[in-house]
Structure 1
């Protein structure tokens, strides 16, 4: 058959040459890649808005499935690069976030939401086809990429100490349901290393949410994510079946998948009867391994033999693992009944600022506070005002009103003085939450109802000055059953240090014990009576 010059075969269709000398339409993939390369590199907010607008325009067009999938891949690669830049800025940011960081963060989360929605719509479209063997690979790619983006969106939200969006959980539920329906939810990519399956990503998101990320210090959040990356493969999804009643009786380490806008609920807190149709996340094997790792670290086993990084030798890392085990095995509700409402409170953060605040400024009347703060510019830079939105026997829920917050972080020691009280409470910041409309909340655990700034004089060699260590003496620690304790700079007051006090005209000899908890730059040390 002679070759006709005006026709050429290209796959399943015949393509006619363009007439009139007009240029052929550009390749959409090459054009999109070129457009992404022209985005302003130093304007993250502009980049996020441009990516969102381009994605919306692309979704309105009728594009071939495989081309659409590749175009989505180009945009989500650009969105992930942008997300990495935002995450690096969050690592150095203070809360509440300034508009310079908050606006790009919201715009980037919006792009990730659009991308997840686009992948989900494409996956559902392909899943409904009668003949699916021709689109099996695109279907799997759409579900895998969508699941990874949804978990990344949650991770970025946790990094900003915000609560995960309901749409993200809806998308994760849908992606996992489609993957289980088509039989590849538990298949891991053949890329080697620590590549995770769709079920692994979903379980990782569930467990990170169950670990209460708003109460995790910034450095520890990366450690929790790394731990889950290595050990989440010990979890599995299962259907309750005929063992539903027995599983509810031994609910520890099980989570119920409800498909709602909230993360799956721990079975220990699930009040309705478990039915055979319920799907569960089973973390019992991972919890058993975690407990073995904690026991091994306590016995001095080398972390590498336990599958842990070298930093696991630190006491803080062991405390983090113990907290994770408690959250995952015995999750508890944070709700407390409000006993009374105090509208305002002054808060000072940081050990170095708390001592002068308790010693002098906190005892001044409010009419004199401006002068007192003016004499202490370092104290003024660490003081802020908060509204008390909740109070429980163990602490306070506070909402930011005004003042300096750049030194507030999870694990930081603080002093709190409600305006209607003369006493100053010493506590620890246990939680930080960025809420909508610029609201910023923190949770404070009360450590002691009062504190005395003083110094501890350590022994020294002959003809040497004896070191004087600034400390806060806590007369009664509820966590120690009312026993006294110290807040001291980390490592400065060794166990066994003798401390002498005057109490009711009598001399009281005490001895420092082993540190109970290491906070941001300080540690809590119990005091015991010293034998004469």
Structure 2
């Protein structure tokens, strides 16, 4: 017979701690939370008696994570050492609770709804660990994907729920919804999004993730389908990039329905922004306040529009890798940020904004680089960066596609080359709120881009017509007309243009 004389008072102490006010500093609260979890794990009591404490501890941990996120929203990579340590500590705790508390051994003591309900909040914790990892630029803990897949695989009701048109109970719906939100975020290439964008996507998917498709059978069209082996610890892979091997339990996932929904919201938001420019509504403050938008708060309308375009592209038509990577190891000079690149080319020589990095692999279309002497200044996904191998060689103009930071003093970047040279110019768009010109880079034609292009800060592009001023050598002023918006990130916009044949 089990002796409960020690267990019951300890469980009551944990309940009392949960009922008390949390510590003002979230990381202090995390340390106290870890002590309570350790005490609970040491008890020899049935899962049914511990369930109320487990649920309370899970809710407190999610609260700690929510209180910590604003530090990541305001932070820049590389993270400060204490923030980086906080990310790792909270992520490990979230994953540990999702991994450690398994009710399988006591399923006979619990009804099926209670088992699935427990799995639902476990999946939510695992999903929160994944989100926080992405926001902090660190690798998700091992074996996060295997943990999430295990929670899905062990319930017959969940396997049946993947059939089209199957009615779902609230607990099954919550578990599948949390899993689908992880998948939908993973296929967006979260390493290429900023922390603010990831938080916005997470809130967006909280409402609409259930519209995605998840099946044990191949889905159509293949061009928008992802797959993962449910018995392995790997994120989903685009089927057009690498087809499944046909071994193990393969799950197929599609967010095409979300892509169609996003396209409708893009059209609605573009129309609202155009209307705002005509009637004088404050574009950054009023457009998203209406409930009819269906969009969360946290980004300006222009930022939300840029992100929605990328979400639509990555959910509807996943990218393939056409060019092989080659392992290399050599140092390069790097200038980070569009304005810094502009100033350097305007001055005609590099200055203090240039630092040394190491290339560790390359392809005809880009590079992967790592910091070698510490990182100074701001780094974020989507920013402009200039790179050259040595003094006297031309600067390649790149866009940061992804950022990783496993150590506070170390940052890895994936770069896409968009031009082999640039000319500093200034632009001013018709109808823009800014009454002065904005620094920009004029990029010559290259393979895949027949016309000249301009890279400018995000939010500069306000209409098709603009004025460009070039001051290198002779002063040159021209009116241009945008032909296509080729790239839009949280930091830059890249658009092809022609000299306007009908200037105003």
Q: Same fold (TM over 0.5)?
A: yes
Distance 1:443 1:522 in 2: 16
User: 1:298-447, aligned counterparts within 5 Å?
Assistant: 307-308=294-295, 314=301, 316-333=303-320, 336-338=323-325, 341=328, 343-360=330-347, 362=349, 372-373=351-352, 379=353, 383-419=354-390, 422-435=393-406, 439-447=410-418
Structure 2 partner of 1:173 = 149
Residue 526 (1) aligns with residue 496 (2): yes
Distance 1:291 1:507 in 2: 39
Structure 1 residue corresponding to 2:170, chosen from 179, 186, 189: 189
Q: Contact 2:453 / 2:494 at 8 angstroms: preserved in 1?
A: no
Q: Are 1:143 and 2:119 matched, yes or no?
A: yes
The reply on whether 1:220 has 2:191 as its aligned counterpart is no
**CA positional deviation for 1:139:** 1.9
Counterpart pick for 1:487 among 444, 456, 471:
456
CA contact (8 A) 1:429 1:445 kept: yes
Distance 1:525 1:287 in 2: 23
User: Would the aligned equivalents of 1:518 and 1:524 in 2 still touch at CA under 8 Å?
Assistant: yes
In structure 2, list runs of 5 or more residues that go unmatched: 162-166, 276-286
Q: 1:289 to 1:415 in 2, by over 3 A?
A: same
Unaligned runs of 5+ in 1: 1-11, 19-23, 364-371, 374-378, 460-465
Distance 1:362 1:507, change over 3 A: closer
TM-score, structure 1 as length reference: 0.75
Contact 2:180 2:209 in 1 (8 A): yes
CA distance in 2, matches of 1:458, 1:234: 39
Cα distance, 1:512–1:339 mapped onto 2, change above 3 Å: farther
Q: Is the alpha carbon distance of 1:112 and 1:456 closer, same or farther for their aligned partners in structure 2, counting shifts above 3 Å?
A: closer
Give the SS at the match of 2:403. strand
1:450 deviation in Å? 1.7
In structure 1, the partner of 2:106 is 126
Corresponding pairs, count: 477
Partner residue in 2 for 1:33: 15
CA contact (8 A) 1:253 1:287 kept: no
Contact 1:498 1:530 in 2 (8 A): no
Q: Is the 8 A contact 1:432 1:440 kept in 2?
A: yes
1-side partners of 2:247 and 2:368: how far apart? Answer: 37
TM-score, normalization: structure 2? 0.78
Quick one: distance in 1 between partners of 2:458 and 2:85? 37
Any idea what the Cα deviations from partners look like across 1:455-501, whole Å, max 9, x if unmatched?
A: 46999xxxxxx956544333346553252435368448864345577
Specify whether residues 188 and 312 from structure 1 end up closer, same or farther in structure 2 by C-alpha distance, changes over 3 A only.
farther
187, 192, 195: which one pairs with 1:210? Answer: 187
Task: After TM superposition, give the deviation of residue 314 of structure 1 in Å.
Answer: 4.2
| Preserved CA contact (<8 Å) 2:382 2:492 | no
Any idea what the Cα deviations from partners look like across 1:102-158, whole Å, max 9, x if unmatched? 122212222212211232x2x21123x3xx5x5445423321221111111111111
Q: Distance in 1 between matches of 2:424 and 2:39?
A: 63
CA contact (8 A) 1:256 1:266 kept: no
Q: CA deviation at 1:423?
A: 1.7
Q: Which moved more, 1:304-313 or 1:324-333?
A: 304-313
Tell me the distance in 2 between the aligned counterparts of 1:298 and 1:196.
Answer: 33
Whether the 8 Å contact between 1:248 and 1:267 is mirrored in structure 2 is no
2:44 aligns to what SS in structure 1?
Answer: coil
**CA-CA distance at 1:443 after TM superposition:** 1.7
Deviation at 1:233, TM superposition (A): 1.6
- Specify which of 199, 216, 220 is matched with residue 176 of structure 2: 199
Q: State how far apart, in whole Å, the 2-side matches of 1:147 and 1:457 are.
A: 49
Distance in 1, matches of 2:269 and 2:52, equals 47
Alpha-carbon displacement from aligned partner over 1:54-98 (angstroms, at most 9, x marks no partner): 423422321132221122223223322222232221112221222
CA distance in 1, matches of 2:205, 2:79: 27
Give distance in 1, aligned partners of 2:492 and 2:257: 35
Tell me the SS of whatever aligns to 1:166: coil
Distance in 2, matches of 1:457 and 1:135, equals 66
* Residues 1:201 and 1:477: Cα distance change in structure 2 (over 3 Å): same
CA distance in 1, matches of 2:362, 2:391: 14
**Contact in 2 for aligned 1:257/1:280 (Cα 8 Å):** no
The answer for the alignment partner of 1:52 in structure 2 is 34
What do the CA deviations read for 1:31-63 (whole angstroms, capped 9, x no partner)? 113446789936655543453354234223211
The answer (yes or no) to whether the contact 1:51–1:111 under 8 Å persists in 2 is no
Show CA shifts across 1:334-369 (max 9, x none): 584345846222322233322232234745xxxxxx
Q: 26, 47, 50: which one pairs with 1:65?
A: 47
Q: Does structure 1 conserve the Cα–Cα contact (< 8 Å) formed by 2:80 and 2:408?
A: no
Distance 1:473 1:209, change over 3 A: same
Q: Give secondary structure in 2 for the equivalent of 1:524.
A: strand
Q: State the structure with more CA Rg.
A: 1
Measured in 2, the distance between the counterparts of 1:25 and 1:417 equals 65
